[in-house]
C-alpha cells in the first residue's frame, strides 16, 4: 500500500464522531492527514434508512471522524491504491472510486451485486454475482472477468494468485442441497484471470465473507457450515494448495504471521484467540483478557501490522437488550497488548476497517 493524504473538508467535518462520553465540541479536521497507521472504517448503514459511511480512525490524536457521509446502500469493504479509495456498494451494484485528497466521487464501476474487493499489483479484484472481475487502477475500468460459481462473498490475492471461495447455493432451512455446489476455493493466475481457475481446492461448507492472507501467502478462510448439522470451520490453504481444518472462527484478521480470531457461540460466549499462521499453534486463549471493556456484539476485527493497534466493530444494544441494527454502532480500540484504549460512535452496522501503511 502506498501512503496517501486525505482531506476531511469542513462540510463533512461537521459530522465528526468523537469518543463516547466526550463533552468537547467535535474538532474539525481541516489539515492534510497522513494515513500511515490510521484506518479507514466502513459502516454499512441501516436497511432503508441511514446510508453507509466512511470514517477515519487516527490513534495519534485518539479521534474518529467521518470522511464520506454517504457511501450509498450497503457498502462492503474498502481498499486504497495510489491516492484513490475503492468501495464496493452491494445494493447499487457498483464499485465507487473516490479521490482520497478531497473525498469527491471520481467514478462508479458497474459490478453486479458486488460483495467484496481486494488490491494487489496495481489491480483491484472484485467478486459479484457468480463472477470475478479485475479492475485496472490506472484506467478505473474492468479489464478482465471470469465466471466462477455460485455464492461469491470474498476475495484475496497474493503476488501471483487470486483466491475466491465458492460458498454455493442456499435453498431453504434444512435443505440437504444447501451449499453442496460450493465447498471450493478457486485459484486464478493474477495476470490472466480470464482463462479460468488454475485449480479448485476443497474446503469447508459455506465460505461466506471472511478470508485473509499471511506473510507466507497462506490463505485462511472461514466456513460457516449450514447452521443445522455442519458446524463452522477455519481452513488454512498453503501456497502448495494443501487445505487443513485448523479450528473455528466467525471473524478473522492477520497481522504478519499472527491470526486473530473472534468466535461467538449460541450460548452468548465470545472468544478472542490468537494463532500462529506458520505452526497453527494457539498463542493466546484471550487476547483481550486485560481489557476493561469488550465489544457488545462484534462485527469485524482489524489489526495494524506496524503498530499493533486492534480495532473491533460492534453493534449497539436497544433499551430492551436486543441488538440494534438500525442505530449507530461502536468502534473499539485496543492497544497491541489487548488493553482497552477507547471507544467511538460510528454509523449503523460498522463492517470493515483498513489500516493504511
* Mean of pLDDT over the chain: 91
Under the banding of pLDDT at 50, 70 and 90, the label for residue 34 is: very low
Q: Once rounded to an integer, what is the mean pLDDT over residues 211-234?
A: 95
Q: Residue 20: pLDDT band by 50, 70, 90 thresholds? A: low
pLDDT for residue 280: 97
The residues spanned by each domain of the chain are 1-82
Mean pLDDT, range 152-160, rounded to an integer: 98
Mean pLDDT, range 180-199, rounded to an integer: 98
Q: pLDDT tens digits for 84-138?
A: 999 999 999 999 999 988 899 999 999 999 999 999 999 999 999 999 999 999 9
Tell me the C-alpha distance between 124 and 101, whole Å.
19
pLDDT at 5 over 50: no
pLDDT at 47: 84
State mean pLDDT over 58-70.
Answer: 94
pLDDT tens column, 300-353: 999 999 999 999 999 999 999 999 999 999 999 999 999 999 999 999 999 999
Q: Could you tell me what percent of the chain has a pLDDT over 70?
A: 90
* Average pLDDT of the segment spanning 49-64: 95
| Rounded average pLDDT over 70-94 | 96
So what's the pLDDT on residue 57?
Answer: 96
The pair phi, psi for residue 154, each rounded to 5°, is: -155, 165
Closest CA to 275 of 214, 331, 217: 214
pLDDT tens column, 318-331 = 999 999 999 999 99
- The pLDDT of residue 8: 41
Tell me the whole-structure pTM to 2 decimals: 0.91
Q: What is the 3-state secondary structure (H, E, C) of 318-333?
A: CCCCCEECCCCCEEEE
At 274, is the pLDDT very low, low, confident or very high (cuts 50, 70, 90)? very high
> Taking a C-beta distance cutoff of 8 angstroms, is the pair 166, 152 a contact?
yes
Q: Which of 14-28, 154-168, 209-223 has the lowest mean pLDDT?
A: 14-28
Residue 176 has pLDDT above 50, yes or no: yes
CB 293 within 8 A of CB 313: no
Strands (E), 123-278: 123-128, 131-136, 141-147, 156-157, 161-166, 184-189, 199-202, 211-213, 219-223, 233-237, 243-247, 251-255, 258-264, 270-276
Residue 35 banded pLDDT, cuts 50, 70, 90? low
Q: Considering Cα of 280, then 285, then 289, then 291, what sign does the dihedral take?
A: positive
Amino acid at each position: 500500500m502506498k501512503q496517501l493524504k486525505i482531506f476531511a473538508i469542513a462540510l463533512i467535518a461537521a459530522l465528526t464522531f468523537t469518543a463516547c462520553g466526550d463533552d468537547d465540541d467535535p474538532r474539525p479536521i481541516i489539515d492534510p492527514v497522513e494515513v500511515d497507521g490510521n484506518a479507514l472504517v466502513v459502516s454499512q448503514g441501516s436497511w432503508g434508512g441511514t446510508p453507509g459511511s466512511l470514517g477515519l480512525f487516527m490513534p495519534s490524536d485518539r479521534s474518529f471522524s467521518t470522511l464520506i457521509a454517504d457511501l450509498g446502500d450497503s457498502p462492503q469493504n474498502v481498499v486504497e491504491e495510489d491516492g484513490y479509495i475503492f468501495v464496493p456498494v452491494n445494493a447499487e451494484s457498483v464499485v465507487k472510486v473516490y479521490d482520497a485528497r478531497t473525498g469527491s466521487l471520481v467514478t462508479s464501476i458497474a459490478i453486479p451485486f458486488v460483495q467484496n474487493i481486494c488490491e494487489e499489483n496495481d489491480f483491484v479484484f472484485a467478486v459479484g454475482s457468480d463472477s470475478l472481475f479485475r479492475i485496472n487502477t490506472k484506467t478505473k475500468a474492468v479489464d478482465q472477468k471470469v465466471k466462477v460459481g455460485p455464492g461469491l462473498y470474498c476475495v484475496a490475492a497474493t503476488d501471483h494468485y487470486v483466491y475466491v471461495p465458492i460458498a454455493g447455493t442456499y435453498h431453504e432451512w434444512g435443505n440437504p442441497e444447501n451449499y453442496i455446489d460450493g465447498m471450493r476455493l478457486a485459484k486464478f493466475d493474477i495476470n490472466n484471470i480470464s482463462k479460468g481457475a488454475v485449480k479448485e481446492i476443497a474446503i469447508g461448507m459455506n465460505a461466506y465473507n471472511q478470508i485473509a492472507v499471511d506473510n507466507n501467502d497462506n490463505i485462511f478462510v472461514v466456513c460457516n457450515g449450514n447452521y443445522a448439522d455442519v458446524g463452522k470451520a477455519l481452513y488454512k490453504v498453503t501456497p502448495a494448495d494443501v487445505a487443513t481444518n485448523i479450528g473455528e472462527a466467525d471473524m478473522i484478521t492477520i497481522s504478519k504471521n499472527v491470526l486473530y480470531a473472534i468466535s461467538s457461540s449460541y450460548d452468548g460466549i465470545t472468544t478472542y484467540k490468537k494463532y500462529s499462521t506458520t505452526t497453527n499453534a494457539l498463542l493466546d486463549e484471550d487476547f483481550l483478557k486485560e481489557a476493561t471493556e469488550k465489544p457488545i456484539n462484534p462485527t469485524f476485527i482489524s489489526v495494524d501490522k506496524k503498530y499493533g493497534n486492534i480495532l473491533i466493530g460492534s453493534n449497539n444494544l436497544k433499551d430492551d437488550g436486543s441488538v440494534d441494527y438500525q442505530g449507530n454502532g461502536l468502534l473499539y480500540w485496543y492497544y497491541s497488548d489487548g488493553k482497552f484504549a477507547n471507544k467511538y460512535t460510528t454509523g449503523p452496522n460498522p463492517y470493515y476497517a483498513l489500516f493504511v501503511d
